[in-house]
């Protein structure tokens, strides 16, 4: 039985696609009498089957060596494009995380989007979304991973633009798609180059090749930069980070997955590429630099956001920046710790955010207040998610930070400072949001805000319990250290960083009336952070202006130079034809004489040239 479960693991991504196909009669409008809910039930059922299959396979593979499932998709000469899957505790654990989060998000979505006329279409896209993510978790081939990343990009575009009747949503979907495409195109260049250099795109073959590869510094640098471009876009890292903020215009259930496991999929591919990135010290340095800039910058930008989803989305970029630092310093175990703890805690935060939005019909935190007494389950979920994210002992975020600080303590103390700074800034931001949303007097839109219905409360409470049980999961997997090996200085630093952040956030002067400060320095700082250091405007005056100018020059050259030359040739042909028509006599001997003279002139010219 165990062998059958492991050999059929390739079905786990297919369940999501089957669920998406089963929703087609409702999403296309072929079935109207029953309403769109059966489509949601079919999709939830297939996700549940995928979760159970993955759970049984995960239990069967524990303690065993990784196995490979290889399907030769295209083979010609030396080219072998294989669909390779890795069956190991890590890959199946990642698939479990994806299907579990997707199951809770879909149950939550039934209640959140209960009155949406396109509910069936949303669940079709969610099934497509889930298939791409679970396929990435099991993929053992860079070729398959790239194809699934493209599938993920398309899914993001469709889900962000789900409410396509709103102009802002259309703009957000377009920007998210184009931003990711920049990274995907560069990644494709790296994939093609790597296929030529290594001869295979399966990760085991690439690892074997990288141990003996001898590349020039230039080739290694260009290859490394191309390979990290795709994950940079997927993980919303600088300078391809603006899309995640705009993607918050999409439905909240999709944002739950986008900020927890979707960005983690890009980081997961980056972790798989780490043995190849070691060939280029420049690429490793760039990873650390990008991660540092994004971790600190996004944590600061989050402090100035008044949209509750955007305030949390920027912290997603910050924590993925810590993952980039871990991969750049070749400590992939730290990256896995952060990804696991962040995914569960951030999903819970966004789920509680969705509960707030659906009851208050607003995302502006300055219009909220006093929700703690009206929405106790949501308040508890937010507090548990925040505690799991900022590293409150003994929750998952604490063990992730503890692992990173222990590793960087002697070799890179400045990275320890970055970890603690990001933790402090995140605690300030989450405390600020909690005060404005849950504390204080009720506002106009929160006076009659009830607790969410059971379809939303069940996944909310379930994920809260799961967040509290993360330390137990880590212990069952033997990932927690013994008490004798715990550095209590590290524990104290993490507790102090989170405590200081909470104290600062609790004592910040917050006013719902005067959103913008009157003092010029504070106003400048707030504008600088709220507009994301003016990166978008910088793009407009550099990249957008350059592309626009080049397109206008190209249009002018095409219209007046190329078209002008073609029109000149056409005019000359018309003029020549009109002129020659008057020389037509109808006498064949005259035509023969003309041909003879032409051949004679051509022959004389050839004789002259050959001489």
Please give the average pLDDT of every successive group of 10 residues along the chain, which has 611 residues: 76 88 84 82 91 88 80 71 82 89 92 85 89 89 89 88 85 86 89 86 87 86 90 86 82 88 88 89 90 91 88 90 91 88 91 90 85 88 91 83 86 88 92 88 80 87 90 79 76 88 84 58 75 81 86 88 84 76 67 81 83 69
Residue 249 confidence (pLDDT): 82
Residue 105 confidence (pLDDT): 92
One DSSP character per residue, 459-479 reads HHHHHHHHHHTHHHHHHHTT-
Residue 65 has φ and ψ, to the nearest 5°, of: -75, 150
506: Cβ–Cβ under 8 A, 6 or more apart, which residues?
A: 431, 435
Torsion of CA 11, 17, 18, 22, to 10 degrees: 170
DSSP type of residue 542: I
Looking at 113-216, list the stretches that DSSP marks H as alpha helix, in order from N- to C-terminal side: 119-138, 142-160, 167-198, 203-212
At 112, list the tokens.
């959140």
CA distances from 290 to 218, 424, 534 (A): 20, 20, 17
Residue 321 confidence (pLDDT): 92
At 348, list the tokens.
């819970």
Residue 60 confidence (pLDDT): 83
Residue 353 confidence (pLDDT): 92
Residue 594 confidence (pLDDT): 77
The pTM for the full model equals: 0.87
Residue 478 confidence (pLDDT): 74
For residue 603, what is the enclosing H or E element? helix 588-610
Find how far residue 575's CA is from the centre of its chain: 60
Strand-pair category, 67-76 with 79-87: antiparallel
Whether the link from the prior residue into 239 is cis, omega within 30° of 0, is yes
* Distance in angstroms (rounded) separating the CA atoms of residues 217 and 283: 11
Residue 213 confidence (pLDDT): 80
Residue 487 confidence (pLDDT): 77
Q: How many other CB atoms sit within 10 Å of the CB of residue 533?
A: 14
At 514, list the tokens.
């005067």
Beta carbons of 109 and 40 less than 8 angstroms apart: yes
Long-range contacts, stretch 8-11, CB < 8 angstroms, 24+ apart: 8/53, 9/53, 9/54, 9/57, 9/69, 9/85, 9/87, 9/92, 9/138, 10/69, 10/71, 10/85, 10/138, 11/50, 11/53
Residue 418 confidence (pLDDT): 92
At 406, list the tokens.
């222990």
Beta carbons of 316 and 259 less than 8 angstroms apart: yes
Find how far residue 244's CA is from the centre of its chain: 8
At 548, list the tokens.
């626009």
* Distance in angstroms (rounded) separating the CA atoms of residues 463 and 603: 90
Residue 513 confidence (pLDDT): 55
* Distance in angstroms (rounded) separating the CA atoms of residues 358 and 451: 10
Q: How many other CB atoms sit within 10 Å of the CB of residue 435?
A: 17
CA distances from 463 to 46, 457, 511, 532 (A): 20, 10, 32, 31
3-state class of 87 per DSSP?
A: strand
Residue 79 has φ and ψ, to the nearest 5°, of: -90, 125
3-state class of 165 per DSSP?
A: coil
């Amino acid at each position: 039985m165990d062998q059958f479960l492991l050999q059929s693991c390739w079905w786990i991504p297919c369940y999501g696609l089957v669920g998406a196909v089963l929703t087609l009669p409702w999403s296309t409008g072929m079935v109207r009498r029953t309403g769109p809910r059966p489509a949601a039930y079919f999709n939830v059922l297939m996700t549940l089957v995928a979760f159970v299959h993955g759970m049984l396979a995960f239990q069967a593979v524990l303690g065993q060596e990784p196995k490979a499932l290889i399907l030769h998709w295209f083979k010609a000469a030396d080219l072998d494009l294989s669909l390779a899957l890795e069956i190991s505790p890590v890959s199946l654990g990642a698939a479990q995380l994806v299907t579990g989060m997707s199951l809770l998000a879909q149950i939550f979505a039934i209640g959140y989007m209960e009155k949406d006329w396109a509910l069936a279409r949303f669940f079709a896209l969610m099934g497509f979304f889930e298939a791409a993510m679970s396929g990435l978790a099991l993929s053992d081939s860079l070729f398959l991973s790239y194809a699934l990343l493209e599938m993920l990009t398309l899914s993001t575009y469709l889900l962000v633009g789900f409410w396509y009747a709103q102009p802002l949503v259309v703009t957000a979907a377009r920007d998210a798609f184009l931003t990711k495409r920049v990274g995907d195109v560069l990644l494709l260049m790296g994939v093609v180059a790597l296929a030529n250099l290594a001869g295979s795109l399966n990760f085991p073959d690439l690892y074997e090749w990288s141990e003996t590869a001898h590349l020039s510094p230039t080739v290694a640098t260009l290859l490394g930069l191309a390979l990290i471009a795709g994950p940079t876009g997927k993980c919303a890292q600088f300078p391809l980070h603006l899309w995640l903020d705009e993607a918050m215009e999409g439905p909240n259930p999709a944002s739950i997955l986008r900020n927890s496991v979707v960005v983690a999929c890009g980081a997961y591919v980056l972790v798989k590429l780490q043995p190849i990135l070691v060939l280029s010290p420049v690429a490793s340095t760039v990873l650390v630099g990008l991660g540092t800039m994004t971790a600190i910058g996004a944590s600061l930008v989050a402090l100035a956001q008044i949209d509750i989803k955007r305030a949390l989305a920027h912290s997603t970029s910050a924590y993925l920046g810590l993952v980039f630092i871990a991969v750049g310093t070749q400590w992939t175990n730290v990256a896995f710790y952060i990804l696991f703890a962040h995914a569960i805690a951030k999903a819970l935060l966004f789920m509680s955010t969705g509960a707030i939005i659906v009851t208050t019909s607003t995302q502006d935190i300055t219009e909220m207040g006093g929700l703690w007494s009206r929405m106790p389950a949501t308040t508890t979920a937010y507090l548990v998610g925040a505690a799991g994210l900022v590293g409150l002992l003994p929750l998952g975020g604490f063990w992730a930070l503890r692992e990173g600080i222990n590793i960087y303590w002697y070799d890179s103390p400045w990275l320890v400072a970055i970890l603690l700074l990001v933790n402090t800034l995140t605690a300030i931001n989450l405390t600020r949001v909690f005060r404005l949303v849950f504390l204080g007097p009720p506002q106009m839109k929160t006076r009659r805000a009830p607790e969410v219905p059971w379809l939303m409360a069940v996944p909310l409470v379930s994920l809260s319990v799961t967040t509290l049980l993360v330390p137990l999961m880590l212990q069952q997997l033997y990932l927690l250290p013994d008490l004798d090996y715990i550095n209590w200085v590290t524990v104290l630093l993490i507790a102090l960083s989170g405590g200081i952040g909470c104290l600062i956030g609790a004592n910040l002067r917050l006013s719902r009336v005067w959103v913008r400060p009157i003092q010029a320095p504070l106003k400048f700082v707030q504008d600088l952070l709220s507009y994301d250091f003016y990166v978008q405007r910088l793009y407009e005056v550099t990249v957008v202006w350059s592309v626009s100018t080049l397109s206008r020059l190209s249009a002018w050259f095409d219209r007046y130079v190329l078209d002008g030359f073609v029109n000149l040739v056409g005019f000359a042909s018309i003029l020549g034809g009109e002129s020659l028509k008057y020389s037509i006599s109808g006498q064949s001997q005259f035509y023969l004489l003309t041909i003879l003279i032409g051949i004679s002139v051509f022959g004389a010219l050839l004789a002259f040239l050959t001489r």
